Amino acid sequence: MTRGKKLFEGVGQHLEDGETIQHVVDGTYDVDTMGRDAARHGLVVATDRRLLLFALTAYGKHEVESFRYPSITSFEESRGMMGGSVSFATADARATIRLIPPGSAFVRFCRWMRSQVEPAASGVR
């Protein structure tokens, strides 16, 4: 089984009842949570409820960071020669996802994220 397939198959066990996946992109992410900085390569999964950063550890276990849309206070995107990148922040964490393959999946992911984060940041839901 390939690493990517193993990553994606593990996502389902971390979803809540009735939660649905809207978009998935591959990338390398850094998360700084209260002074703890971690860099991982994995999947970024946008569901109808939250954003999940999903990676495999060296021992084949899943590592998941979860951010509900109302807690995300900012979202930024950029495109470069090495692919796309996005950054977002919450009150407790900052994350940057880099090396997202360019293309329509990246565009749709960013559009989805803006639609979820901007209303939450302005207090509209």
pLDDT at 32: 77
pLDDT at 5: 61
pLDDT at 33: 65
Q: Are 65 and 52 in contact (CB under 8 A)?
A: yes
Give residue-wise pLDDT tens across range 45-83. 999 999 999 887 777 777 888 999 999 999 999 998 888
Domains and CATH numbers, the chain: 3-8+20-122 (2.30.29.30)
pLDDT > 70? residue 8: no
- The answer to whether the pTM exceeds 0.85 is no
Angle, alpha carbons 26-30-35 (nearest 5°): 155
In angstroms, rounded to a whole number, what is the distance separating the alpha carbons of residues 84 and 1? 27
Q: Are 88 and 65 in contact (CB under 8 A)?
A: no
